Structure 1
């Protein structure tokens, strides 16, 4: 743990773990980011559900569908999950710091292990019963690893995360150069979209019955979980940032946030744009070049996700310092409050999305995934509508000082009945 964590007083060392942080004590930036990134997750998972694969893209785009493919690859796919992973690592340190300061030594690690184990269990049920594009299982596994291997380490050890960040920037530059060379020299038959051998497929969304979809997800969910374990580096970077209170004290870290947002978002968009142009049919690439484009898009996504987090740190700083809550326009304050409310109930908001895909897409339900018309338009409209519904619902819960239902269950399992 960081050196600035206070040593618990003797009378507090045998206390049971504290419950969750009250909303009034939460930092704005992480919750605002979580609430907003759920829109990106809705767009990504909605596209995956409708197009039966991740990343979800139109395989033969026409007209505006070409722009849809470009925008999804440059701004959404492989960028939302790393952002959530960073916030996972950040939140783990916040939770552990609070436990270590007020309860017994080792309470933080114990609570994190219980919470991560339950997240893994939630992920298994979620991925098998609802939607195989699950992130909770992978985050549970990564959380257990972080609690066992990273907590309690010193600053020198955690600076390795910064070296990995620098190395990832260099690797993205190398991948970009390689992709540019392969595209420039491509002479073979143009590769088709999607690149099936490199996609994570979701055939469960076209299963004829719910029972058949569950059977399909029994194999899809483990594959998806293994695929997402690569976010451990981003989680570690979130751990480093939390140790230095980067999002809780954005004014002290304005330059770092600005630099990270600039580099991360530039790399994320520039690294995804060639793949987006290829998926839109505007860039020729044979099989080797297409593989290089996809590798670049995936690697740059982690930088883009971190850039998004830094951007929200700057937005929170502007909201808190330049325009205090009492002086904000009423509409701005209402939007910020609603997005923050969803961020504080992000687990419920995320799970509700999966219920929506199960109701909207498969042929045994509403069957919109097999309906005629523009799939890109349908996927986008459904994703935005579902996210907006969760924003409104979370804001109503905020007004009544109520947590989300999934948060209530997880807290009961982690902290016990007393919390």
Structure 2
């Protein structure tokens, strides 16, 4: 999952390239770059963050239920979650100011503050209703946006006049580091509440994660194989189909002007939500297969051990990606992002992820927590 996050973030560092509203992939691209862009739009872009948000929601319920099992009062357990999410918001602000404007730790923390207060003790039925209603709303928005784009094209109205005109600058193109801090911090202040609530996909995924955790879908995947299989097939199927439509627009196959890319944004985010859930379910099925039966658990292989080590240190691994990629690619660092394309920056993302795997394996072998996990735990528990 962190590999997909790295792959999704890397194109934002291509600061010298002209891009479209569909994504941060360069318009001027080679044939290989076009292939990579197509794969990214179908399977990665707008799919990784809902996937991660669902696991964040899953973790919220795990922490809350563990406190209850230990006899902790509900108000105290909610206070622990509240402190944890406030500190995530603070970590996100620092992360954005220093390195990466597209930080999601703060957005997850902000969403967690609100959703825990409103939903943590509500019945499953209430959570299901909200998930269904909110998903329906963004799906309808996606359909009408798509229809609107085709209607504008058919009417002959100047497509450029309908474009949103909001250019997101992640600060990667600033040659001055202090100036880049200002740009990133400003963008984070705008983007964090937008990601947490206006996009809607993150709250939906978090609520879905809480629901899944209540029924132990990932802790006992073998017992939920049928449901996980359905979620994987439907989720990934819808996600890839929607991504294929967006990729077709990116390739110019639909006959729509690039200025009408706004018509595909909700389609990409809605189908991305489905795809993210489908990926979580798929990984649950893989986990069930790797673990074997409860009576005869299979030995853990080296690859599984390494991936588990990263998973235990997901916050550290996520932040470490920025520590590597930002100085390497941004204009205030080595500036390599000016000369790379979609395919070459993907190689940088994969290499960065491999470095985080090596770091996590070393920490696991030496019995150490990830530094970010250690700090967040200490701050949240106040000891």
Q: Deviations over 1:181-238 (max 9, x none)?
A: 55995867887xxx77355332x11111211111111211112212311311111111
Distance 2:224 2:297 in 1: 21
Residue 373 of structure 2 is aligned to residue 407 of structure 1: yes
Corresponding residue of 1:209 = 176
Distance 1:316 1:182 in 2: 46
Alignment of 1:109-188 (within 5 A): 109-164=78-133, 167=136, 171=140, 174=143, 178=147, 182=151, 185=154
Residue 194 of structure 2 is aligned to residue 227 of structure 1: yes
Distance 1:244 1:100 in 2: 16
Q: Deviations over 1:257-282 (max 9, x none)?
A: 11111111111111111221222334
Change (3 A) 1:128 1:177: closer
Please say if residues 172 and 271 of structure 1, whose CA atoms lie closer than 8 Å, have aligned partners that are also in contact.
Answer: no
Question: When the two structures are aligned, how many residues end up with a matched partner?
Answer: 372
Alignment of 1:9-24 (within 5 A): none
Q: Deviations over 1:318-368 (max 9, x none)?
A: 11126966457xxxx111111111011000001111111221112231110
Please say if residues 70 and 276 of structure 1, whose CA atoms lie closer than 8 Å, have aligned partners that are also in contact.
Answer: yes
Alignment of 1:4-403 (within 5 A): 37-51=1-15, 55-106=23-74, 107-164=76-133, 167=136, 171=140, 174=143, 178=147, 182=151, 185=154, 197=165, 200-202=168-170, 204-229=171-196, 230=200, 231-286=202-257, 289-321=260-292, 326=298, 333-371=301-339, 374-403=340-369
Shift in Å, 1:96: 0.2
The TM-score with structure 2 as length reference comes to 0.88
The TM-score with structure 1 as length reference comes to 0.81
Please say if residues 228 and 284 of structure 2, whose CA atoms lie closer than 8 Å, have aligned partners that are also in contact.
Answer: yes
Shift in Å, 1:390: 0.4
Shift in Å, 1:300: 1.1
Corresponding residue of 1:5 = none
Shift in Å, 1:160: 1.4
**What residue ranges of structure 1 are gaps of 5+ in the alignment?**
1-36
RMSD value, Cα: 2.7
Distance 2:289 2:141 in 1: 31
**What residue ranges of structure 2 are gaps of 5+ in the alignment?**
none
Distance 1:295 1:182 in 2: 16
Distance 1:189 1:348 in 2: 47
Shift in Å, 1:73: 1.0
Change (3 A) 1:100 1:43: same
Q: Helix, strand or coil: the match of 1:233?
A: helix
Distance 2:123 2:207 in 1: 13
Shift in Å, 1:67: 1.1
